[in-house]
Amino acid sequence: MSDQWSSLAEEIAGHAQNYVDGLTRVASGEGGDAIWSLLLVEVAQMSLAGAKLGANRDVILAGNYEPPMSEDPDIDSVRTALSELLEAVDDYAEVFDPYKDTGVTPYRLSDDLTAVAADLIHGLRHYHAGRPHEALWWWQYSYFNTWGNHAGAAMRALQALAAHSRLDVAEEATTV
């Protein structure tokens, strides 16, 4: 594996671990009133890492084969906790693919955020097993196939929530 790929794998692994750790902390109740802003930062940072994967040439595995792994850990408890925290704003509408499918699709922030985490965890498992090339392949493939779309949709929804929380306030009475 070239130094360029090794460096990128290390960078993406760091972002992926930060995202998973941050999402887990928010799901456990950390963040208080800043939950939307914290989630927005986590998703934006991971989206930047995904854009770097998308801007690079394709990662190709030898033999076009992903080594088998045991089943990925179940993160449904994180999804459930996020669903409860985001209850009033969990459901939102999004256009899945503005070029092919312009219909509005129902989404859930809790599902989107954990779908990203699930794909990142799968790649982290390769990375921590000493297979950084497989990790890069997985992160790039799943960025285009799954988590990039979920992260983009979640980022738009979270940005809207953050904006509404700041801009949709009652006018304050001014004193003269």
Average pLDDT of the segment spanning 31-44: 90
Query: pTM for the whole thing?
Result: 0.89
Distance of CA 90 to CAs 25, 36, 83, 85, 108, Å? 18, 11, 6, 9, 5
- Ordered domains of the chain (ranges, CATH): 3-167 (1.20.120.1550)
Residue 1 confidence class, pLDDT cut points 50, 70, 90: low
Model pLDDT, residue 127:
96
pLDDT tens digits along 52-102: 999 988 888 877 778 788 899 999 999 999 999 999 999 999 877 778 878
Is pLDDT of 169 > 70? no
Regarding predicted confidence, which is higher, 65 or 155?
A: 155
pLDDT tens digits along 89-135: 999 998 777 788 788 889 999 999 999 999 999 999 999 999 999 99
Model pLDDT, residue 98:
77
